[in-house]
């Protein structure tokens, strides 16, 4: 059960309980995307109806998780519903909430009793007979004559003499015969209930049945085109667009689907941009329009400029108001480069704005990003958010980032994807511009050869070029440690490509110099200055390229720093065990370990990304002089039995190599460690775990036995001064093993344990004196 929050209406939300459109305020569950209006929230429907008067059986209101995607209401309305239904488990029938008290009473065969014949207002010649969906005649096309809905396996009425079919919805609630005072037309419209081929004057699309007609104007319109709005905002244009019943003589294509517009029909156009027109159906799609009618709503002007210009080369940017930024036209290209705070990419070799007092830097293009803009991926206007506190997943390319982002309701776009607009020009396809096509199903990206739904597509005939958002925003020039010179993006091998000319037609396979795996030269890749290398784009960039270097992110219960991988020895990833190849890697900040993760994928896949404690086993938990370990059978994430402390890191050959040095935390029992673990270069520091003092014992006694004082406390205090024991061992003795043991028994057990440890420790001291004189034995004497 989740809490509901009061929320203002922003689009065309409907109540999930009664299916009515929301008012200005409604309650919502952010976790389940559940909405309910104020009335349903204040007067909720009963969860159970005993012996329904109209149905005769018990009805149960289904929980939100059990709601069917759509259901047929077996009440008088006969409509399809998609909200909260009542269900009769005995009859397997469903009802709208509002219809639960008004359905026809089903008979003993659990079927709703509809009349076998009805006289319909749109077919007065003959009565219509009741049919089941599975029993429709062969000559019947299976659709309603009035609304065109598929009958399927639902009940319907049919006239065999005239082949006239209507579904239950149009029997109970038929469309009105005539309409007046509509936005679609100035005159009265009359329904023509017959099969007729026509072109809708409102949307320009073909229809095959039952239009509304104005005989005076020769105007025909679909039934579902009567409610088009008059003035709206869409995500393909910055200005408002107005619907008109006749576009007039224009030679334009639709601004959404980019197909030819029939200027003799109605549509939407921009009053400020005469060439921008949109089909009526395209403009009112849910992914294009937010559902708000703006007729009568004054247009507000808002300053969306991202900065204030101080002088010719100096600005004050809204994301960095504390200092001014100065323009540098040439860009920089150094070993210790700077990164743009907006797109998180290196500055070179582009012009930029740099802070005059700190390290804050923005590309010239990023500094000019508008504070608010519309985008093809969302039907609301997005706001530019500059906070680097939280990382996010871009809904366009799928990359994780902590740079600037364009944000809306359930939408986050990094600035690279957020900057994409139509038409989109890309150097990988210079012949034609690309457009966002959202209703062409899945396409195959020409860059990565993967299927994608969100694609930028060439709309020219016989051109099938497609890019997904991730590939469309790949960097054209990058630097990587494998090459001294910058790498450039290559758009796949062609016959005259330098790779073909240098290797020859029979050169065989190409290999990535980073992962040393085969590359497909037909896909896009990065290449060196002399074109003698093919490097995978994912190997060059990694999945951390959209994070700001030297920043800190938090994932689950741990914090990580984004560090630049410039080490010659390359740290080893604690999850996949491979050397970190990417230019940017993750360093774990919790604790004192130099633990690294090579990618965001490893972070999310490893137990570090899960909400549970993570303990890493040591591969050196053995005698190194014996080859008895089978690595293939080892559990990687497991607390070794030999070590009590959980933070024992996996040790490798490179543990003594510069920054890869690992500090090992272990127990106080040095004599029980293998000699291989404490040799020079393997253990750098020994930190003893604290022992239990009398003050700590009193806290444990209060927690476990609820004792503040006891006669045995004096004896225990004396033993604790002479004996080293860990708090965990004390707590183990104080725990009641069974109901028969009282506080006195627990304290006596502790005393016995202390006396036993005292004897063992005294024997060890005597043995060391005998073998080494009065010196205290130190296993680390070879190290420290």
pLDDT tens for each residue of 354-376: 998 888 999 999 999 999 999 99
Q: Do residues 156 and 165 make contact, with C-beta atoms less than 8 angstroms apart?
A: yes
Burial zone of 383 (CB within 10 Å; 0-12 exposed, 13-18 middle, 19+ buried): middle
Question: Scanning the structure block, which residue is given the tokens 């994070």?
Answer: 547
Average pLDDT over every residue of 451-477: 90
Q: What is the pLDDT of residue 512?
A: 86
Among the listed residues 415, 413, 362, the one whose alpha carbon sits nearest the alpha carbon of residue 392: 413
- Give, as one character, the DSSP assignment of residue 644: -
Domain ranges for the chain: 5-96, 117-172, 178-225, 474-541, 552-609, 694-772
Tell me the CA end-to-end span of the chain in Å, nearest whole number. 59
Q: What distance in Å separates the CA atoms of residue 279 and residue 598, rounded to the nearest whole number?
A: 49
**In whole angstroms, what is the distance from residue 51 CA to residue 426 CA?**
67
- In this model, does residue 701 exceed pLDDT 90? no
173-187, 253-267, 663-677: which range is least confident on average? 663-677
CA distance 58 to 577: 60
φ, ψ for residue 557 (rounded to 5)? -100, 10
Both structure tokens of 179: 């309409």
- For position 631, what pLDDT does the model report? 41
Handedness of CA 347, 349, 353, 354 (dihedral sign): positive
Give how far Cα 499 sits from Cα of 429, 491, 510, 722, Å. Answer: 20, 12, 9, 77
Residue 755 has pLDDT above 60, yes or no: yes
Q: Which of 299, 232, 239 has its CA nearest to residue 273?
A: 239
Can you tell me the distance from the alpha carbon of 722 to that of 717, in angstroms, rounded to the nearest whole number? 9
Residue 639 banded pLDDT, cuts 50, 70, 90:
very low
pLDDT over 90 (residue 555)? no
Burial (CB count <10 Å: 0-12, 13-18, 19+), residue 102? middle
Q: What is the pLDDT of residue 277?
A: 92
Are 734 and 700 in contact, with CB atoms under 8 Å apart? yes
DSSP-based three-state secondary structure for 513: coil
pLDDT of amino acid 637: 39
Instruction: Tell me phi and psi for residue 462, to 5 degrees.
Output: 65, 15
String of DSSP letters for 183-226 = SS-SS-EEE--SEEEEE-TTT--EEEE--EEETTTTEEE-GGGT
ω before 349 within 30° of 0 (cis)? yes
- What pLDDT shows up at residue 416? 94
| pLDDT surpasses 60 at 39 | yes
Buried b (16+ CB within 10 A) or exposed e, 332-352: beeeeebbbbbbbbbbbebeb
Give CA–CA dist 177/191, Å, rounded.
5
CA atoms within 13 Å, Cβ hemisphere of 304? 15
Output DSSP code: residue 89: T
Residue 125 buriedness (CB in 10 A; 0-12 / 13-18 / 19+): exposed
Compute the distance between CA of residue 3 and CA of residue 136 in angstroms, rounded to an integer.
Answer: 48
* pLDDT-based confidence at residue 67 (cuts at 50, 70, 90): low
Question: Which pLDDT band holds residue 695 (cuts at 50, 70, 90)?
Answer: confident
Sign of the C-alpha dihedral computed for residues 699, 704, 709 and 713 taken in this order:
negative
Q: With bands split at pLDDT 50, 70 and 90, how would you rate the model's confidence at 534?
A: confident
In whole angstroms, what is the distance from residue 714 CA to residue 706 CA? 17
C-alpha distances in angstroms, 507 versus 502, 504, 510, 511, 513? 9, 5, 8, 11, 16
Band (pLDDT 50/70/90 cuts) for residue 294 is very high
pLDDT tens, residue by residue, 377-420:
999 999 999 876 678 889 999 998 999 999 998 899 999 999 99
The larger pLDDT score, comparing residue 109 to residue 689, is at 689
pLDDT score recorded for residue 472: 94
Q: Closest Cα partner for 584 from 554, 556, 609, 560? A: 560
Q: How far apart are the C-alpha atoms of 99 and 731, rounded to whole Å?
A: 64
Query: In this predicted structure, what is the pLDDT of residue 52?
Result: 63
Chain center to CA of 308: 34
Answer for the pair 473, 424: CB distance below 8 angstroms, yes or no: no
pLDDT for residue 776 is more than 60: no
pLDDT at 622: 39
Is the pLDDT at 264 greater than 70? The verdict is yes
In angstroms, the Cα distances linking 384 to 88, 371, 404 are 50, 5, 7
Question: Long-range contacts made by residues 344-349, C-beta under 8 angstroms, separation at least 24?
Answer: 344/401, 344/402, 344/403, 344/545, 344/546, 344/547, 344/548, 344/549, 345/475, 345/545, 346/478, 346/479, 348/479, 348/486, 349/477
Higher pLDDT, 11 or 346: 346
Rounded Cα–Cα distance for residues 23 and 15 (Å): 9
Contacts of 609 (CB under 8 A, 6+ apart): 555, 556, 603
pLDDT at 241 over 90: yes
**Which has the closest alpha carbon to 512: 496, 525, 493?**
525
Residues 6+ apart with CB under 8 A from 161: 125, 126
Q: Which residues contact 126 (CB under 8 A, 6 or more apart)?
A: 159, 161, 162, 164
* Confidence at 624, pLDDT banded by 50, 70, 90: very low
Please check the confidence at residue 326 and state whether its pLDDT lies above 70: yes
Place of tokens 């290209």: 333
Per-residue confidence (pLDDT) for residue 38, from 0 to 100: 67
Average of per-residue pLDDT across 262-286: 89
Least confident range of 194-203, 465-474, 476-485, 560-569: 560-569
pLDDT single digits (tens) 466-525: 999 999 999 998 888 777 788 899 988 755 454 444 444 444 567 888 888 888 888 899
Answer for the pair 547, 584: CB distance below 8 angstroms, yes or no: yes
Largest CA distance in the chain: 121
Nearest in space to 702 (alpha carbons), one of 749, 737, 746, 756: 746
Sheet strand arrangement including 435-437: 435-437, 455-457, 466-468
- Nearest by Cα to 103 from 153, 39, 172: 172
Average pLDDT over residues 455-474: 91
Is it the case that residue 43 has pLDDT exceeding 90?
A: no
Spatial CA neighbour of 152 closest among 167, 139, 163, 164: 167
How confident is the model over 547-562, as a mean pLDDT?
Answer: 85
Q: E-assigned strands of 97-146?
A: 117-120, 123-131
3-state helix, strand, coil in the chain (%, to 5): 15, 25, 60
pLDDT: is 229 or 134 the higher one? 229
Cα atoms in the Cβ-side hemisphere of radius 13 Å centred on 391: 23
Contacts of 565 (CB under 8 A, 6+ apart): 481, 571, 580, 581, 582, 583, 584, 585
What are the backbone dihedrals phi and psi of residue 432, each rounded to the nearest 5 degrees, phi first?
Answer: -140, 155
């Amino acid at each position: 059960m989740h809490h509901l929050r009061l929320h203002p209406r922003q689009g065309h939300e409907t109540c999930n309980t009664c299916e009515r459109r929301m008012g200005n305020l409604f309650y919502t569950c952010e976790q389940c995307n559940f909405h309910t209006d104020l009335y349903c929230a204040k007067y909720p429907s009963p969860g159970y109806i005993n012996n329904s008067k109209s149905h005769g059986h018990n009805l149960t209101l289904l929980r939100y998780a059990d709601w069917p995607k759509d259901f047929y209401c077996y009440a008088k309305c006969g409509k399809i519903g998609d909200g909260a239904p009542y269900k009769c488990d005995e009859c397997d029938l469903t009802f709208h909430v509002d219809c639960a008290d008004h359905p026809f009473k089903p008979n003993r065969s659990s079927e709703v009793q509809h009349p076998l014949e009805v006289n319909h207002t749109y077919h007065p010649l003959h009565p219509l007979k009741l049919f089941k969906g599975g029993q429709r005649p062969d000559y019947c096309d299976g659709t309603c004559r009035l609304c065109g809905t598929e009958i399927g396996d639902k009940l319907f009425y049919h006239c065999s003499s005239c082949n006239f079919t209507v579904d239950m919805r149009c029997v109970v609630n038929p469309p009105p015969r005539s309409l007046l005072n509509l936005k679609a037309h100035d005159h009265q419209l009359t329904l023509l209930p017959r099969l007729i081929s026509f072109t809708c004057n409102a949307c320009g699309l073909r229809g095959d049945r039952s239009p509304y007609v104005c005989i005076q104007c020769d105007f025909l319109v679909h039934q579902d085109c009567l409610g088009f709005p008059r003035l709206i905002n869409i995500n393909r244009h910055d200005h408002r667009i107005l619907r008109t019943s006749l576009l007039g003589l224009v030679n334009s294509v639709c601004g959404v689907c980019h197909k030819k517009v029939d200027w003799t029909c109605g549509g939407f156009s921009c009053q400020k941009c005469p060439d921008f027109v949109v089909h009526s159906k395209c403009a009112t799609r849910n992914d294009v329009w937010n559902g708000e009618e703006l007729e009568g709503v004054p247009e507000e002007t808002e300053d969306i400029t991202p900065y204030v210009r101080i002088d010719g080369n100096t600005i004050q940017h809204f994301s960095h108001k504390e200092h001014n930024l100065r323009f540098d036209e040439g860009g920089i290209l150094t070993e210790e480069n700077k990164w743009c705070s907006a797109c998180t990419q290196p500055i070179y070799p582009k012009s930029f704005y740099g802070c005059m007092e700190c390290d804050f830097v923005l590309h010239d293009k990023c500094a000019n990003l508008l504070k608010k803009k519309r985008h093809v991926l969302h039907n609301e206007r997005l706001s530019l958010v500059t906070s680097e506190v939280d990382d996010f997943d871009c809904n366009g390319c799928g990359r994780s980032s902590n740079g600037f982002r364009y944000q809306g309701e359930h939408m986050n776009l990094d600035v690279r994807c957020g900057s994409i607009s139509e038409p989109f020009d890309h150097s990988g396809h210079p012949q034609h511009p690309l457009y966002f096509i959202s209703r062409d199903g899945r396409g195959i990206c020409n860059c990565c050869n993967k299927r994608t739904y969100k694609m930028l597509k060439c709309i020219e005939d016989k051109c099938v070029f497609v890019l997904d958002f991730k590939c469309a925003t790949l960097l054209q020039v990058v630097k990587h440690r494998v090459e001294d010179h910058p790498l450039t993006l290559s758009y796949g091998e062609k016959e005259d490509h330098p790779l073909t000319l240098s290797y020859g037609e029979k050169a065989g396979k190409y290999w990535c110099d980073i992962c040393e795996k085969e590359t497909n030269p037909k896909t896009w890749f990065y290449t060196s200055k002399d074109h003698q290398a093919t490097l995978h784009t994912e190997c060059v960039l990694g999945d951390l390229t959209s994070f700001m270097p030297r920043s800190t992110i938090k994932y689950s219960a741990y914090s990580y720093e984004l560090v630049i991988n410039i080490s010659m020895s390359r740290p080893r990833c604690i999850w996949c065990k491979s050397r970190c190849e990417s230019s940017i890697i993750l360093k774990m900040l919790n604790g004192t370990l130099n633990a690294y993760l090579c990618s965001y994928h490893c972070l999310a896949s490893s137990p570090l990304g899960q909400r549970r404690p993570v303990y890493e086993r040591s591969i050196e938990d053995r005698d190194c002089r014996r080859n008895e370990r089978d690595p293939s059978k080892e559990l990687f994430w497991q607390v070794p039995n030999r070590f009590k402390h959980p933070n024992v890191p996996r040790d490798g050959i490179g543990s003594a190599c510069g920054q890869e040095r690992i500090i090992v935390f272990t127990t106080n029992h040095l004599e029980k460690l293998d000699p291989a673990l404490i040799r020079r270069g393997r253990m750098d520091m020994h930190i003893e775990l604290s022992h239990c003092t009398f003050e700590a014992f009193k806290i444990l006694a209060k927690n476990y036995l609820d004792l503040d004082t006891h006669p045995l406390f004096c004896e225990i205090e004396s033993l604790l001064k002479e004996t080293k024991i860990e708090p965990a061992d004390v707590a183990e003795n104080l725990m009641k093993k069974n109901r028969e043991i009282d506080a006195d028994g627990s304290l006596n057990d502790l005393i016995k344990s202390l006396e036993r440890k005292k004897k063992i420790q005294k024997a060890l001291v005597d043995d060391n004196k005998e073998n080494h004189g009065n010196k205290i034995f130190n296993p680390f004497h070879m190290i420290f």
